[in-house]
C-alpha cells in the first residue's frame, strides 16, 4: 500500500497565556508498506517521508524533513513457534508548541 498525505492548518492560541504566535502549518508526506511471503518466510518493509513547515508570519519560519523506516523478517519454525527480526528508525518534526 502506498499513499500521499497533505495537511494545512491555521494555529492560534488565545487567552492571557497565549505566547505562541498565530501560525500556518503545512505538511506533505508519502508512505508505503509492503509485505512479501515465500514459503515459511514473511518480510515487511515500511517507509514514510514528510516535509513539515511552520510559518508564524515573521522571520522565524521553520521547515524540516523527517523520515521513518521499518523492516522485519518472520520465519515460521512450526505452527506454534516463529522467530522475528525487526529494525526501525523513526523521526518526527517539532510541533508549533515545541518551537
74-83 pLDDT, tens digit per residue, is: 999 998 999 9
Whether the CB-CB separation of 68 and 91 falls below 8 Å is answered with yes
Name the more confident of 64 and 19. 64
Most confident by average pLDDT, 7-11, 14-18, 28-32, 51-55:
28-32
pLDDT tens-digit readout, 45-76: 999 999 999 888 776 788 999 999 999 999 99
pLDDT digits (tens, 9 = 90+) for 83-97: 999 999 999 988 877
Cα torsion 48, 51, 53, 59: sign? positive
Q: List the domain boundaries for the chain.
A: 2-11+28-90
Amino acid at each position: 500500500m502506498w499513499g500521499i498525505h497533505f495537511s494545512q492548518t491555521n494555529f492560534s492560541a488565545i487567552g492571557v497565556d497565549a505566547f505562541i504566535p498565530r501560525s500556518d502549518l503545512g505538511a506533505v508526506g508519502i508512505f508505503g508498506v509492503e509485505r512479501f511471503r515465500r514459503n515459511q518466510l514473511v518480510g515487511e518493509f515500511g517507509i514514510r517521508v514528510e516535509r513539515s513547515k511552520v510559518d508564524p508570519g515573521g522571520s522565524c519560519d521553520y521547515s524540516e524533513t523527517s523520515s521513518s523506516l521499518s523492516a522485519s523478517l518472520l520465519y515460521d519454525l512450526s505452527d506454534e513457534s516463529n522467530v522475528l527480526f525487526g529494525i526501525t528508525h523513526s523521526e518526527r518534526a517539532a510541533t508549533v508548541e515545541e518551537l
